[in-house]
Amino acid sequence: MLTAADLEALSLTVRLATTATLILFLLGTPLAWWLARSRAWWKQPIRAVVALPLVLPPSVIGFYLLVALGPHGPGGRLTEALGLGTLPFTFWGLVVASVIYSLPFMVQPLQGAFEAIGEWPLEVAATLRASPLDRFFSVAVPLARPGFVTAGILSFAHTVGEFGVVLMIGGNIPGVSRVASVQIYDYVEAAEYANAHRLAAALLLFSFLVLLAMYLWRPHTVTTPGKGG
């Protein structure tokens, strides 16, 4: 059976993944739309920046976020000026780190879905005097719905599995930043392998079911970050 500490860590993990995924939808959708439609020369450098979390070690991202959001960093000075304090070792610090670390898992599937729409449906809507905003919400979003589902599932699941980034920016504070992956790490360090196995098995089963559901729903059209495009 999972312990009370395990359930607390799982609850925090789900809360973090849900919050980060919702924010990623808000930030990643316009960014993916712009990347799919733009022909600006700076499009490729921005694509590279978005994809950086796929290749950078999580500890590198966590370190620079810790510096940037700390009391002497630009982000930390801004949040302190706004009366929010500093974000490291808080839940919202974990959210910021998770949004950055999972950004390509949101943007790349959405970009692929928007690119797959093509020009013709949007041109037809334009001939019917639909504004750019109308064309986006009435044509692009419905046609890209599978991409939205894939992006949401991948972003949520990826956030659930984070370890290095959340440990660097959030530390190991029970009820605040001790997510499930950090709880497993604690168990292993304490040589409590039975507890580590139970919690790890729960996360393994969750990840498998999430991916299985996604592949069953979209068996031929799933876009994986880092592949193609």
**185-194 pLDDT, tens per residue?**
999 999 999 9
Contact present, 195 and 184 (Cβ < 8 Å): no
CATH node for 24-49+57-217: 1.10.3720.10
**152-180 pLDDT, tens per residue?**
999 999 999 889 899 999 988 888 889 99
Hey, where are the domains in the chain? 24-49+57-217
Supply the pLDDT for residue 227: 44
**28-57 pLDDT, tens per residue?**
999 999 999 988 888 999 999 999 999 999
Closest residue by Cα to residue 6 from 134, 122, 179, 144: 179
Residue type, 58: P
Query: Which pLDDT band, with edges at 50, 70 and 90, does 222 fall under?
Result: very low
Question: Quick one: how far is CA 40 from the chain centroid?
Answer: 26
Burial (CB count <10 Å: 0-12, 13-18, 19+), residue 128: exposed
Contact present, 97 and 204 (Cβ < 8 Å): no
